[in-house]
Amino acid sequence: MVGLIPGGIAFSPSNNYLYVAAYKVSQNTVTSVVVVISTINNAIVKTIPVGNNPYRLAFASSTNDIYVTNAGDNTVSVIDTSTDTVVDTIPVGHKPSGIAFDSSNKEIYVANYSDNTVTVISTQGKHLPIIFLPGLGGPC
């Protein structure tokens, strides 16, 4: 897609695809997608609509899902890599930016820029608390 601004990138070894967070603003319209690229032939396979302003991605090896931070609407989109569709949208803190997967605990950690928190997402369906970072003044 022409004119998209790429953000984060993640690789899925389960299908040999790259997933690239991208967005475009034109004439008061925002396009927010994850572009799926085959590493076999470097061709775009699909674009997947996600939340507003996708920023960073992480691959969860325990479920073969891609997790995408959507900084514009304070959510994380979950993409099933076997179907390349969004299967869940999870509310997180304000302006989610960084994201990482912990394979030993099977948890996703999301750094929320504007409220000094880290959201913990279980890939096993458990509800987990938000972590407030000490010494940073708490939520804004």
Residue 126 has what pLDDT? 64
Is the pLDDT reported for residue 9 higher than 90? yes
> Of 135, 131, 128, 70, nearest to 96 (Cα)?
70
Residue 103 has what pLDDT? 94
User: Residue 57: which residues within 8 A CB-CB, separation 6 or more?
Assistant: 8, 9, 10, 19, 20, 21, 34, 66, 67, 68, 69, 99
Is the pLDDT reported for residue 139 higher than 70? no
Question: Model confidence over 52-110: pLDDT tens digits?
Answer: 999 999 999 999 999 999 999 999 999 999 999 999 999 999 999 999 999 999 999 99
Domains of the chain, each with CATH number or no CATH: 5-98 (2.120.10.30)
Question: Model confidence over 113-137: pLDDT tens digits?
Answer: 888 889 999 998 765 667 777 655 5
